Amino acid sequence: MSEGHGKRRVTPTGNHGNRTLRALALLGTLLAALLLGSATPAAAHAALRGSDPADGAVLKSSPRSITLTFTESVGLLDDSFRVYDPTNHRVTTGEAEHGPAGSDTARITFPKKLRTGTFTVAWRIVSADSHPISGALTFSVGKPSATRATVAIGADENPVTGSLYNIGRYVAYTAVALLIGAVAFMAVCRPPDPAPLRRPVRAAWWALLASTLFLFVLRSPYEEGTSPATAFDLSALAKSATGRPGLALLTRVALLALTAALYLVLRKRVNGARPSRPLLATAAVLSLALALTWAAAEHASAGIQVPLAMTSSVLHLLSMALWLGGLTALLITLQRSATPLPAAVVARFSRVAFAAVTVLVGTGVYQSWRGLGSWQALTDTSYGRLLLLKLAAVTLLLAAASRSRRWTAKLATATAPAVPTPDRVPLPVGAPAPANPPTAENPPPVAEPSPLGKPSSPDEPPATSTGRHQAALRRSILTEVAVGVAVLGITTILTGTLPGRAAAEAAESGTAPGTTGIPAAAVAVVPFDVGTPNGHGKVQITLDPGRVGANSVQAVAFGPDGGISSVPELRLSFTLAAQKIGPLPANVTDRGGYWAADSVNLPIAGEWTMSVTVRVSDLDQVTVTKKIRIAA
């Protein structure tokens, strides 16, 4: 229906807008699946630098304490240490505390003298940037014992809890980008019809509030490595409220309440007019405070140059929000605004986006240097490889942004008013001059510039070039938003990966990432039962180092009462069915209370099957199997 009939002209953008939203929703779903699929135990950001006593040390006398030193400051849990004696019984210890060297250490004391033999220490802490890390080590008093405790060292985080926590963090990143970016777009770029942005801003606020509360509830299970079912324990919630990550989340909730009040004020005052300076200053302060709740509990809060790193992190997050959130706001405005969008609005956002990208690149370079530590880490660590992937995605984003700027310039040119040059009209000789001739001070009247896609009069058809440029701008902005969503997904995964600098420090100290604190042996317990009275028990088998190549083997048999049992014969072999290797005999021999072989060569990494034959008498024997993983 034309405007001449008194009704508003409707542009056919509804279906296109729905397709746009569906495309963004699909991309968000795929990224959520990526986060779920990548929720293997994330490498935490603290790495074990060393211990006193050292892993595997043999001491002449019982130590009074054990101290672990990490690459960054760590937080302690109620059950940060578990110590087991050679008979697999837990040793009574004092409470976990930081050592005299500072907050990057964790220590426990032993209230009494330890017996002779090998002790196993299992530990679990939370690194300064809120990620849990766990591991184990051994030391011996007097001499190594034939047996050692069997301690199951699980993943740093429960897979389900870790996946849900990562999804919550991704939703929070996306929501804060849209919230800050859209509000800034309304306040700075001043679209004449801000109504289409009100619902997305409210949705972003609620999404950020919900994801923040969700992360707070999951905080304790995430730290403890337990299932989500333990999340609503009152003691767990109270514990979360006292830790730095939990306090940052609660602070974010309080700031969101203030943000809601500010938005209500902005909504009344921003309608194509510039908001007052106090309002803009208040909005800027709240945005800084929101960004600080991320910086206080992520990479920037630990490591080197913490004040500079936190400043960089805040600026990085804000510039990301101004760019990507503003892009989304611009796209929504182009699609759903009841009135055509003036070129001046797009031009204002173009200037804001350029400044945001400049800050984003600068802070990104600094944070990459801080996290990597060396060029070699760029290709040798998971953090470096993810960083390369993010760099490629950001490059695509910058290319799309450059294209958008070109279309913006073309739109501004297409809608700029042309100043006509008055034609010379010959006047009869002697005719009086015009009363008000056109001059530089008195130019001829010029038609008002028409907004994007709107003709200057009801009878004039829309400018074909302007409509084409506006459609091209929409497509370019959609590309930017889509790639930006992907960048947020990569960033979420990157924040759960051990930085290259910490990996290098751990490698120099001999505790390589991925195996930090895990005993240099593979241990398996194989139960057996020959079917006669007292003819059952278990065999504890230790492969050292539990990796490809030569391994020493120790096998200890335990009787029904749990004590060491002497059996007349024990045979052991290894098979890797997937590669059709084996059985490879271990040729263990009786060493007086336990069975051992000095060298068994296992040539390929994978899940091997151990076949254990135990003979308990002249007539009674049984063969049992057990899976054991051999690392590369």
Is 180 a domain residue?
A: yes
Q: Is 546 left (phi over 0), alpha (psi -120 to 50) or beta?
A: left
Contact 313, 367 (CB under 8 A): yes
Q: What is the pLDDT of residue 107?
A: 92
The whole domain housing 233 covers 159-415+462-497
Best CA proximity match to 612, nearest among 577, 581, 568, 573: 573
Contact 182, 266 (CB under 8 A): no
Of 24-28, 200-204, 575-579, the poorest mean pLDDT is in 24-28
Chain centroid, CA 563 distance in Å = 47
Could you read off the pLDDT of 339-360 as tens digits, one per residue? 777 878 888 888 888 888 888 8
Q: Bigger pLDDT: 389 or 480?
A: 389
Q: What is the pLDDT of residue 437?
A: 54
Chain centroid, CA 448 distance in Å = 50
In this structure, the answer to whether residues 207 and 267 fall within a common structural domain is yes
Sheet arrangement for strand 536-544: 522-529, 536-544, 549-558, 595-602, 589-590
In this structure, the answer to whether residues 330 and 364 fall within a common structural domain is yes
First to last CA, the chain: 71
In this structure, the answer to whether residues 188 and 330 fall within a common structural domain is yes
Total tally of structural domains belonging to the chain: 2
d(CA 272, CA 258): 24
d(CA 181, CA 179): 6
d(CA 547, CA 488): 37
Q: What is the pLDDT of residue 515?
A: 41
pTM for the full predicted model: 0.59
Best CA proximity match to 290, nearest among 335, 256, 333: 256
Most confident segment among 228-232, 398-402, 463-467, 625-629: 625-629
The confidence band for 42, taking pLDDT boundaries of 50, 70 and 90, is very low
Of 128-132, 326-330, 445-449, 528-532, the poorest mean pLDDT is in 445-449
- According to DSSP, the β-strands at 65-70 and 48-52 are antiparallel
Angstrom distances, CA of residue 270 to CA of 196, 229, 276, 284: 13, 45, 9, 16
Is 249 a domain residue?
A: yes
Is 482 a domain residue?
A: yes
Residues contacting residue 109 through CB under 8 Å, at least 6 positions apart: 64, 65, 93, 94
Q: What is the pLDDT of residue 403?
A: 74
The sign of the CA dihedral 600, 601, 604, 605 is positive
- According to DSSP, the β-strands at 132-141 and 57-59 are parallel
Residues contacting residue 573 through CB under 8 Å, at least 6 positions apart: 582, 583, 584, 585, 586, 610, 611
Is 234 a domain residue?
A: yes
Is 135 a domain residue?
A: no
| Runs of H (alpha helix) within 272-381 | 277-295, 306-320, 326-336, 343-372, 377-380
**278 has pLDDT over 60:** yes
Contact 36, 167 (CB under 8 A): yes
In this structure, the answer to whether residues 199 and 314 fall within a common structural domain is yes
359-374 burial, b if ≥16 CB within 10 A, otherwise e? bbeebbebbbebbbbe
**513 has pLDDT over 50:** no
In this structure, the answer to whether residues 403 and 347 fall within a common structural domain is yes
**21 has pLDDT over 50:** no
| Neighbouring-strand partners of residue 82 | 122
The confidence band for 209, taking pLDDT boundaries of 50, 70 and 90, is very high
Residue 230 DSSP code: G
In this structure, the answer to whether residues 409 and 545 fall within a common structural domain is no
In this structure, the answer to whether residues 493 and 593 fall within a common structural domain is no
In this structure, the answer to whether residues 249 and 355 fall within a common structural domain is yes
Q: Bigger pLDDT: 8 or 486?
A: 486
Q: At 626, which helix (H) or strand (E)?
A: strand 621-630
Q: What is the pLDDT of residue 405?
A: 67
In this structure, the answer to whether residues 477 and 553 fall within a common structural domain is no
Contact 51, 66 (CB under 8 A): yes
Is 105 a domain residue?
A: no
Of 58-67, 94-103, 271-280, 414-423, the poorest mean pLDDT is in 414-423
Output the six-digit token pair for 616.
């308990």
Most confident segment among 41-55, 437-451, 465-479, 559-573: 559-573
**184 has pLDDT over 80:** yes
The sign of the CA dihedral 342, 344, 349, 350 is positive
The confidence band for 496, taking pLDDT boundaries of 50, 70 and 90, is low
d(CA 484, CA 325): 9
Contact 222, 188 (CB under 8 A): no
Neighbours of 258 (CB within 10 A): 14
Determine phi and psi for 136, rounding to 5 degrees. Answer: -155, 160
Contact 124, 137 (CB under 8 A): no
d(CA 357, CA 350): 10
In this structure, the answer to whether residues 294 and 410 fall within a common structural domain is yes
CATH classification of the domain holding 575: 2.60.40.3340
User: Residue 210 carries which side chain, given as an amino acid letter?
Assistant: A
Output the six-digit token pair for 582.
């084996």
In this structure, the answer to whether residues 490 and 568 fall within a common structural domain is no
User: Residue 70 carries which side chain, given as an amino acid letter?
Assistant: F
Q: What is the pLDDT of residue 257?
A: 92
The sign of the CA dihedral 154, 159, 161, 163 is positive
Residue 323 DSSP code: I
Is 31 a domain residue?
A: no
Neighbours of 103 (CB within 10 A): 15
Q: What is the mean pLDDT of residues 417-439?
A: 49
Residues contacting residue 297 through CB under 8 Å, at least 6 positions apart: 129, 130, 244, 245, 248, 249
Is 96 a domain residue?
A: no
In this structure, the answer to whether residues 484 and 348 fall within a common structural domain is yes
Angstrom distances, CA of residue 199 to CA of 24, 242, 287: 17, 35, 20
Best CA proximity match to 342, nearest among 269, 417, 420: 417
